[in-house]
């Protein structure tokens, strides 16, 4: 898959079958659209193209931070696995936000990218004030010579999947199982192992303290989770127990992500881990003593081993 970051890297191709959107999460609904696009492109001798934006348009238009299910790089990897030919990332600036829907189609999609056909969701809005819709595209298609393919909402078990819902499942409930069902894969995040207080080692549960790579990346609700951790060699995957929280039994300050890897010994400082969330075990809570904490961690570890056994 060719990755084009910024309009200056875009190469014009009149065979382009394009879909446009943020596609944060690349969830099952998105996947249905993208697989359809790939099939259409292959059947028509075209090139399947996803056009997306960075940062999330809502951050620029409304001035509010948007938690991300996928970073741009994660999105690119997922799209490549689905068989897309091109991934175009347009920097979403205040000036770009002022571009009308008509100008976006004529100048960017047709003029810069090359547009043979566009695949669009039935309720998709685009351009300044989201003034563009399927009806406008069909009118412009007749004028400029491209086809418009409008597809219905994508339903999973009678449920319309949305990135907003998946974010809420993770942030508000920590329901990583349901999030995984709607994503079509476990929710994942990446980070670098940094120096910690080494307190876990002193109680028999050494942990890797994770510094998440992207400041907007969704962090699931505080609690204890069974996870799979893949090391930066891209090969080694280990079961683990992750705590997200403020360490209330000790200092109760700041938000920390700590993962205890099962059956691992060694130095991980400075290395990257990719964490996949398998199951939420419990809320984080304060224990009356270190012994009580250790007893609970032992039970948690047993549950983690059972949860990841069938996956790892």
Q: What is the mean pLDDT of the chain?
A: 89
Higher pLDDT, 224 or 202: 224
Residue 309 — very low, low, confident or very high, per pLDDT cuts 50/70/90? confident
In the predicted structure, residue 229 carries a pLDDT above the cut 80: yes
Please tell me whether residues 202 and 137 are part of one structural domain. no
Domain extent, residue 56, equals 2-151
Q: Which of 74, 117, 258, 276 is catalytic?
A: 258
- Average pLDDT, integer, range 273-281: 96
In the predicted structure, residue 38 carries a pLDDT above the cut 80: yes
Please tell me whether residues 78 and 146 are part of one structural domain. yes
Please tell me whether residues 226 and 293 are part of one structural domain. yes
Percent over 90 (pLDDT), the chain:
64
Please tell me whether residues 121 and 246 are part of one structural domain. no
Element containing residue 131 per DSSP (H, E): none
Please tell me whether residues 105 and 233 are part of one structural domain. no
Size of the chain, expressed as the number of residues it contains: 312
State pLDDT tens for residues 171-203.
999 999 999 999 999 999 999 999 766 665 656
Higher pLDDT, 48 or 254: 48
Residue 249 — very low, low, confident or very high, per pLDDT cuts 50/70/90? low
State pLDDT tens for residues 79-127.
999 999 999 999 999 999 999 999 999 999 999 999 999 998 767 777 7
- Average pLDDT, integer, range 231-247: 88
Residue 95 lies in a domain: yes
Please tell me whether residues 59 and 7 are part of one structural domain. yes
Please tell me whether residues 92 and 9 are part of one structural domain. yes
Alpha carbon distance 290, 227 (integer Å): 24
State pLDDT tens for residues 198-218.
665 656 678 889 999 899 999
Q: What is the CATH number of the domain that holds 222?
A: 2.40.30.30
Alpha carbon distance 74, 25 (integer Å): 9
Alpha carbon distance 209, 180 (integer Å): 24
Residue 216 lies in a domain: yes
In the predicted structure, residue 37 carries a pLDDT above the cut 90: yes
Q: Is 258 a residue of the active site?
A: yes
Q: What is the DSSP letter of 220?
A: P
In the predicted structure, residue 251 carries a pLDDT above the cut 80: no
Burial class (CB in 10 A: 0-12, 13-18, 19+), 288: exposed
pLDDT value, residue 197: 61
Please tell me whether residues 143 and 190 are part of one structural domain. no
- Of the candidates 256, 252, 260, the one whose C-alpha atom is nearest the C-alpha of residue 286 is 252
Residue 167 lies in a domain: no
Residue 269 lies in a domain: yes
Q: How many separate domains does the chain show?
A: 2
Residue 266 — very low, low, confident or very high, per pLDDT cuts 50/70/90? confident
Q: Which of 179-183, 246-250, 294-298 has the lowest mean pLDDT?
A: 246-250
pLDDT value, residue 204: 62
- Average pLDDT, integer, range 220-225: 96
pLDDT value, residue 123: 72
Residue 161 lies in a domain: no
Residue 160 lies in a domain: no
Alpha carbon distance 4, 22 (integer Å): 15
């Amino acid at each position: 898959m060719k990755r084009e970051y910024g309009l200056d890297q875009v190469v014009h191709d009149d065979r382009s079958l394009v879909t446009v959107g943020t596609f944060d999460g690349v969830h099952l609904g998105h996947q249905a659209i993208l697989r359809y696009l790939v099939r259409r492109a292959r059947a028509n001798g075209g090139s399947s193209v996803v056009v997306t934006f960075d940062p999330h348009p809502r951050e620029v238009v409304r001035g509010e931070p948007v938690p991300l299910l996928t970073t741009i790089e994660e999105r690119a990897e997922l799209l490549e696995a689905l068989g897309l030919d091109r991934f175009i990332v347009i920097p979403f600036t205040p000036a770009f936000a002022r571009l009308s829907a008509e100008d976006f189609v004529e100048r960017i999609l047709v003029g810069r990218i090359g547009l043979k056909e566009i695949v669009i969701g039935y309720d998709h809005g685009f351009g300044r004030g989201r003034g563009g819709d399927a009806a406008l595209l069909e009118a412009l298609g007749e004028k400029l010579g491209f086809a418009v393919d409008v597809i219905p909402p994508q339903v999973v078990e009678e449920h319309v999947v949305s990135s907003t819902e998946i974010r809420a499942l993770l942030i508000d409930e920590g329901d990583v199982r349901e999030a995984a069902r709607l994503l079509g894969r476990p929710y994942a995040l990446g980070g670098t192992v940094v120096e910690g207080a080494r307190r876990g080692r002193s109680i028999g549960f050494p942990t890797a303290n994770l510094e998440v790579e992207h400041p907007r990346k969704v962090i699931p609700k505080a609690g204890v989770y069974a996870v799979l951790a893949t090391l930066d060699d891209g090969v080694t995957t280990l079961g683990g127990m992750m705590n997200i929280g403020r360490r209330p039994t000790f200092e109760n300050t700041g938000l920390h992500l700590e993962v205890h890897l099962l059956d691992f010994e060694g130095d991980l400082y400075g290395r990257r881990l990719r964490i996949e969330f398998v199951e939420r075990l419990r809320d984080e809570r304060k224990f009356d003593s270190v012994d009580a904490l250790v007893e609970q961690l032992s039970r948690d570890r047993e549950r983690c081993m059972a949860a990841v056994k069938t996956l790892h």
